[in-house]
Every structure is written in C-alpha cells, then in structure tokens.
Structure 1
Amino acid sequence: MLPLLLALQSADRLPPANPLPYADPAAAAVMAPIDALFRGLAARDPAAILAQVRHEGGATVATEQPDGTRSVRHMTWQDFTAGVKPGSERLEERLIDSVIEVDGDIAMVWGPYTFTINGKLHHCGVDHFDLIREAGAWKVLNVTWSQRTTGCPA
C-alpha cells in the first residue's frame, strides 16, 4: 500500500484554481458580439444588431404558452431586426450563469436569461448562441431561445 500512496503523492497535481471572479479573455471575446447585440436590442437599433451577425444565419424561438401550447418560429436576421421597432419602453435581456465553449474558430454560449420591459419581467428561457470567428472577430451565426412567462426567476 505504501508504494501506491507514494506514487499518488508524486503524480502530477491539478493546476492552481482560477481566481474569482474568473476572467477568461477568450470568453470575453466570445461574449463581445452577444453583449453588443443586446445593447442594439435595448437601443432598438437594427443596424447595431446586424453588425454583430453573419447574414446567412438567423434566429429561432421555441415558445411555450402558459396553457402548454408550443410553437417554433425561425427568422432570418432581416426578419428578426424588422421586429425591432422604436419605442419608449426600456428593454433588457440578461444572461444568467452562461456556459461558453470555444474550439478554434467556433464557439457556443448557452444559458438561462430574463427579458424585462421597464424593469418588469416579461419572459424568460434559455439562450443558445453559436458563433464563428473570422479574421479575429467573433460573429453570431445563430441564436435559438426558449421563451415562456411561467417558471421564471423572481
């Protein structure tokens, strides 16, 4: 038993833990176009949204109504931004504890979100972004999200 314990003791150790809050430059770069897209949505600025996306991608929403009725709708980015209209309400979408995965020039961001209008919860769900990096810049190719008004965080 002693040889086994000595072998385990000299085995490679785990690297030191990352400090909290964890700041990963690669993750920040992936989040940059998503954060800019959210700012464009809040500003009701279709051009700002389109500046963050690849034109051949799009947006898909899977909606669940309180009665359990479900629907799925896919939109091109042009269709999506056509629904972004001027208004006086303050819009905010916020990701909560998202997961970011990067492999070379592709990335995925997945996480629960809340969407508020004038600070009041409107709906929630999960966002899934897939991104690609070209010439050093990340762009959102697609976003898919679930949308419901029940079971949302307070």
Structure 2
Amino acid sequence: MRRFISAVLCGLFVSAALAAPPKPVSTPEDVAAITAVTEQFQAALKARDVKALSSLMLNSNIMWTAPMADKRVQQIRAELDPNFDGVRASGGYNDFAHFVKDAKLPIEERFYNVKVTQDGDLAWVMFDYEFVGDGVVENYGVETWQMVKRGGQWKIFSVVWSVHIPEK
C-alpha cells in the first residue's frame, strides 16, 4: 500500500512539475501582420501620409499620450489645477495628425528593439524610439502600443510613450 501511495504521489508531483503555465494565443502570421503595422506607421509618417497613418488606428479618438514627469505635474497642480494628472497632457492623435500634415521639414520615427506580445485578438508592441525632424533627433524614449484585431486587420487603439530631450 505504501508503494502505491508513493507511486501516486510521485506521479502527481511529476505531473505538476511538467505542467506548463498557459501560454498566450499567438501565431507567426499575426505577429508578422502586427510588425507590418509598425513598418506602415513609419512609412506613412515619413511620407506625411496622414490618411495612411489614420487607417492604422482603431478610431481617431484613441489614447495618444506622453504622460508628464511628476515634477512638472506638481508644478502645474501648484500653479493652475490641483487635479491635473499629466496623463492626457498631449493633444491626442488628431493634433499629431495635423502636425504630420503641416510639417514643413522631413520627419520620421525610428524604432529599435521592437517586441510584440500577442494574445488572441489583443497585442502589445513595445520599442525604443527616436523622433527625428530634419535629420536631427528631437526626442527619444520608450513607446508602447496596444492593438486589437478587427475584421482581420490589426489596429492601434492606444499609444503611450516617454519623452527625453537630447542634450545639445
């Protein structure tokens, strides 16, 4: 009887040890399609093709923000608005689209260390970036996108990034 109990316990321990945690649902085809969106974004920005850029978004009211540094938030709270949170500090995607359309000099965004994580119809894209105006890096940081698959197409529904200004 002791052997039987030992064998059962051993089997349970081995089964538990070999059981892998659940993995996100991801396919190479979807990861390739998501990666293609990052490339299309860069190409549309460089070409200042706002229509192509907008076609990559779920809608024109997506979260599009670079949260302010806490020091700046505290300053604005002290001077202007005690409830200011600094999260929706940028003008959103529509302001960015107008900026791109009206840009007089060449602009581009360079992506490095792109990482895609997909789980079914949701995906997260994270990368280091440099925003370049007229050949000069204007700012850099880390950017994250949240994406959703709708009608077989991957769309961006959230863009959040940090901002650092290069020293002159």
For normalisation by structure 1, the TM-score amounts to 0.69
Which residue is equivalent to 1:136?
Answer: 152
Structure 2: which 5+ runs fail to align? 1-17, 19-27, 74-85
**Conservation of the 8 A alpha-carbon contact between 2:138 and 2:166:** no
The correspondence for 1:60, drawn from 65, 70, 74, is 65
Find the residue that maps to 1:62 and give its secondary structure: coil
Amino acid paired to 2:137: L
Amino acid paired to 1:57: I
Which residue is equivalent to 1:48?
Answer: 52
Using the TM superposition, give the Cα deviation of residue 119 of structure 1 relative to its aligned residue in structure 2, in angstroms.
2.3
The correspondence for 1:82, drawn from 98, 103, 113, is 98
- Residues in 1 aligned to 2:42 and 2:29: alpha-carbon distance in whole angstroms: 20
Amino acid paired to 2:34: V
Find the residue that maps to 2:161 and give its secondary structure: strand
Which residue is equivalent to 2:132?
Answer: 116
Find the residue that maps to 1:33 and give its secondary structure: helix
The change in CA–CA distance for 1:147 and 1:75 in structure 2 (over 3 A counts) is same
Which structure dedicates a bigger proportion of its chain to helix?
Answer: 2
- Once the two structures are overlaid, the 10-residue window that deviates more, 74-83 or 98-107, is 74-83
**Conservation of the 8 A alpha-carbon contact between 1:58 and 1:75:** no
How many residues are aligned here?
Answer: 126
**Conservation of the 8 A alpha-carbon contact between 1:40 and 1:46:** yes
**Conservation of the 8 A alpha-carbon contact between 1:58 and 1:74:** no
Across the aligned residues of Structure 1 and Structure 2, the Cα RMSD in angstroms comes to 2.4
Using the TM superposition, give the Cα deviation of residue 97 of structure 1 relative to its aligned residue in structure 2, in angstroms.
0.7
- Residues in 2 aligned to 1:112 and 1:146: alpha-carbon distance in whole angstroms: 10
- Once the two structures are overlaid, the 10-residue window that deviates more, 24-33 or 100-109, is 24-33
- Residues in 2 aligned to 1:63 and 1:45: alpha-carbon distance in whole angstroms: 28
- Residues in 1 aligned to 2:45 and 2:67: alpha-carbon distance in whole angstroms: 19
Using the TM superposition, give the Cα deviation of residue 87 of structure 1 relative to its aligned residue in structure 2, in angstroms.
3.7
Larger radius of gyration: 2
Which residue is equivalent to 1:32?
Answer: 36
Which residue is equivalent to 2:24?
Answer: none
For normalisation by structure 2, the TM-score amounts to 0.64
Deviation per CA, 1:75-108: give whole Å up to 9, x if none. 4433331222334422121111121100000000
